[in-house]
Amino acid sequence: MEFEVKAFSGKQAGNYIDAIADLRIRLFRDYPYLYEGSPEYEKEYLGRYFKAPNSRVFLLFYGERIIGATTCIPLAEEADFIQKPFLENGFNLKEYFYFGESLLERIYRGKGFGKLFFQYREDEALKHPQIRYSCFCALNRPDDHHLKPDQYRPLNGFWEKLGYVQHPQMHASMSWKDIDQSEETTKKLPFWIKKIR
């Protein structure tokens, strides 16, 4: 079997919603997200990518099995809570391309697929003449978090090598239930931004 990345429009990607939702639920359960997901919420969350006219979903296949997925969308087509920090800081939404999740089965990590996912999404962003920046947000947990694995290493260094700069004054607010909690709590996810044009 061979590895193959396939690109889909949002509407086309809707055919793979169960596989994408399964990846999100299983992989985001790990630290640092500790996400207690559900298929119902996933379908609602992913729905905006399936409906947006210029969203793209890249799926990594190993044979016929989906082992990775990554999403991207013009920031102007994203949800309000993602756009809000940019509007509050006077940025032009039309100049930004937002990168959503980047998911990869654990046993296939360290083979360059993470970097490849960024390259595919940046190439997609550059197809839009008005886009000048790519961006994403990521969760920071406290260093002393009680569920932090001893072997955990944040991806900050990897993102910095790709040219992204963290802007801690800009963050998206998202709420979900952690695996060890009974109620949802709001998290602040700082943005990382790169000038691509």
pLDDT digits (tens, 9 = 90+) for 13-41: 999 999 999 999 999 999 999 999 988 88
CA distance 152 to 32: 9
| Average pLDDT for 61-66 | 95
Residue 71 pLDDT level (bands cut at 50, 70, 90): very high
191 SS3 class? strand
Residue 10 pLDDT level (bands cut at 50, 70, 90): confident
pLDDT digit string (tens) for 112-152? 999 999 999 999 999 999 999 999 999 999 999 999 999 99
Confidence at residue 60, expressed as pLDDT on a 0 to 100 scale: 97
Residue with tokens 């044979």: 63
pTM beyond 0.85, yes or no:
yes
Residue type, 169: Q
Question: How many residues belong to the chain?
Answer: 197
Beta carbons within 8 Å of 175's beta carbon, 6+ residues apart: 184, 185, 186, 187
Q: Where are the domains of the chain?
A: 3-195
Task: Give the domain 3-195 fold.
Answer: Aminopeptidase (3.40.630)
CA distance 162 to 52: 27
Q: Mean pLDDT score of the chain, rounded to an integer? A: 95
CA distance 146 to 104: 25
Q: Which helix (H) or strand (E) holds 56?
A: strand 56-62
pLDDT digit string (tens) for 41-57? 898 889 989 999 999 99
Residue type, 106: R
CA 168 to chain centre: 17
> Side by side, which strands form the sheet with 133-137?
3-9, 56-62, 65-74, 96-104, 133-137, 184-195, 165-177
Confidence at residue 43, expressed as pLDDT on a 0 to 100 scale: 86
